[in-house]
Structure 1
Amino acid sequence: MDYVIRPVRADEWRAARELRLAALRDPAAPLAFLESYEDAVAQPEEFWRGRAERAANGTTVLQFVAEAGEGGRWGGSVVVLVEEAGSLDFFGRPVERRQAQLVAVFVRPEARGSGLAGALFSAAVEWAFGLEGVMRVRLYVHEDNRRAEAFYRKFGFVHTGGAVPNPGDPSKADREMELKALQP
């Protein structure tokens, strides 16, 4: 199936909600996401509208979706967060330089192995490296999420040696991986 990779639009909150809930029902969800299906499904419409609006803003965050043809079902998504130097990241640690972080990565099971994840990552990374001052894109991967880690490595991400305790299970670690921009 052919997909169009594009940024989400603010009015697409229903499709964004459906895809997120599908992601949270995936067997890998406990390793990949910091939110449970039960918590997400209980959120009111205003929550989902606000989430889609923020994900479409294109300055501090941008969500890329893979749409099956015009108006078709979404096959996957990735969100790019822009982290500003001097701010604190999600884990409360200082951000040393302007950078981007990829989060909320999901591809529906029927689209896995099709190249869709690579297409989503290519769009997200290209957008991030097009931002002024962004020379590094990072992500975190749970130590037991081997499938995701293998994809990230194949795409070119490398471990930095950094890690944080997993918020859902502090006995496990989320390992930092990064991709640096090519220097001219």
Structure 2
Amino acid sequence: MDYVVRAVRAEEWQRAKEIRLAALRDPAASIAFLDTYEHALSRPDVFWQERTAGAAVGEHSRQFIAEAPGGQWAGTVTALVERPAGEPGFGEAAVVDQAHLVGVFVRTGHRGRGVVDALFREALDWSWSLTGPPLERVRLYVHEANERAAASYRRIGFVPTGETLLMEGDPTSLELEFEIRRPGRSRG
């Protein structure tokens, strides 16, 4: 794989905005993201600048990108740190120290080349390396109809926890929680 996987830099906010907008135009966007292209497009530049700066610092979140040989950003994932003493995470308050992967996207022309695996490896390595109380697990949610994404997550090592949430905006659909436990730790 000739891609460079790295953390986003604060000054790259325009590129971070562009890949997010591309993700929101993907055919699976309606079941993969809790945002719309139109809503994201309407956000002011300062939103994208602050969002990218926060994801570049890496204190509570970190965005990773995969850069193709020609310089195009081929994919991205963001890891959000959720701690029991912190703000409630997606769905509920964290009961263990954990990271939550969001914004997973690989452009169509780069799928099947190991990009998602490399992005997840970087996000997992970062999660396990954080100082403070060690993170027990990394989790993510996937729409019950997004079999392509679920298959990728299983192949990487994520397993369903059995926890579900109603899909925001569509109470007839479920989001399924998947997790990967910190190496050496089992689900208890």
Q: Which runs of 5+ in 1 are unaligned?
A: none
1:86 matched residue in structure 2: 85
Q: Tell me the amino acid that sits aligned with residue 176 of structure 1.
A: E
Q: Which runs of 5+ in 2 are unaligned?
A: none
1:157 matched residue in structure 2: 158
Aligned mates of 1:44, 1:158 — CA distance in 2: 38
SS in 1 for 2:10: coil
Asked whether 1:42 is paired with 2:67, we answer no
Q: Tell me the amino acid that sits aligned with residue 128 of structure 1.
A: S
Q: Tell me the amino acid that sits aligned with residue 110 of structure 1.
A: G
Aligned mates of 2:148, 2:28 — CA distance in 1: 9
Aligned mates of 2:155, 2:95 — CA distance in 1: 27
Q: Report the CA distance between 1:89 and its aligned residue.
A: 1.1
2:146 matched residue in structure 1: 145
Q: Tell whether the 8 Å contact from 1:86 to 1:97 is kept in structure 2 after alignment.
A: no
Aligned mates of 1:86, 1:50 — CA distance in 2: 24
Aligned mates of 1:103, 1:10 — CA distance in 2: 19
Q: Report the CA distance between 1:25 and its aligned residue.
A: 0.2
SS in 2 for 1:2: coil
Q: Report the CA distance between 1:173 and its aligned residue.
A: 0.6
Number of residues of Structure 1 aligned to a counterpart in Structure 2: 182
Aligned mates of 1:126, 1:69 — CA distance in 2: 23
State how 1:5-154 maps to structure 2 within 5 Å. Answer: 5-69=5-69, 72-87=71-86, 88-91=88-91, 93-132=92-131, 133-154=134-155
1:176 matched residue in structure 2: 177
Q: Tell whether the 8 Å contact from 1:75 to 1:108 is kept in structure 2 after alignment.
A: yes
Q: Tell me the amino acid that sits aligned with residue 25 of structure 1.
A: R
Aligned mates of 2:85, 2:165 — CA distance in 1: 19
Aligned mates of 1:89, 1:14 — CA distance in 2: 27
**TM-score calculated relative to the size of structure 2:** 0.93
Aligned mates of 1:180, 1:74 — CA distance in 2: 29
SS in 2 for 1:18: helix
Aligned mates of 2:58, 2:78 — CA distance in 1: 11
